[in-house]
Amino acid sequence: MDEFTQKLVLLGVTAVLSGFLIPFIMKQIEGNRHREQKYLEAELARQGKLIDAQAELLAEFATCVWEYEFRVVAVTYYRGVTDKELYLSALTKYDETVIETLVRIRTAISKALYLTSPETYQKMRNLYFEKLLSLDRKLRALIESEHESPISQDDWHELNRYAVRELADYTDQVLESLALDLKLKQGNTSERNRQSNKQIQPTQKTRG
């Protein structure tokens, strides 16, 4: 076979292969592009659900914690007013809601286990176990003491002051850490996290 004939044969083979290969290659490229598009869509949907879950966690945790703390504040505040019905009403509302509210707080913390960092999760646990449960025990102690004999109004005032100031400030710090961790608060995240880590440390058990 002479050179000219070889070129013709090669050209023919190339044309035939091109007729099959080019559509095949284009189909493969299109298929890959379609799979990548589906993957990106699924990833965006997953990220959207994750962001929604994180925003819901922050809102639910903040709502439950403040609801609980303000119930305690109401009891300690109204204990010092003249109208005792206000105190009894606040105490009744606290007794009726405390268990449910604490359960909601603990449930939110469990969700934080897979929605936040280990550090933020631990801060939320510290708030619950070291602060909120301790607050309930202190309130119960005052109530039970009154059943035995009248106690000083100063004790009620001190617990009210603690809840309104110290505990509220601590709660704000935990909520800020949670918001920063979830990227739901603007600002210098690294600097704010360093400040929060310095301010929020496991506390020693309170006497009494």
Q: Which amino acid is residue 25, in one-letter code?
A: I
Q: Percent of the chain beyond pLDDT 70?
A: 72
- How remote is the C-alpha of 180 from its chain's centroid? 10
135-173 pLDDT, tens per residue? Answer: 999 999 999 888 777 777 899 999 999 999 999 999 999
pLDDT of residue 40: 74
Q: Is 206's pLDDT higher than 70?
A: no
Burial of 20-34, coded b for 16+ CB within 10 Å and e otherwise, reads: eeeeeeeeeeeeeee
Tokens at residue 58, please? Answer: 């922050």
Q: Is 53's pLDDT higher than 70?
A: yes
170-194 pLDDT, tens per residue? Answer: 999 999 999 999 998 765 444 445 5
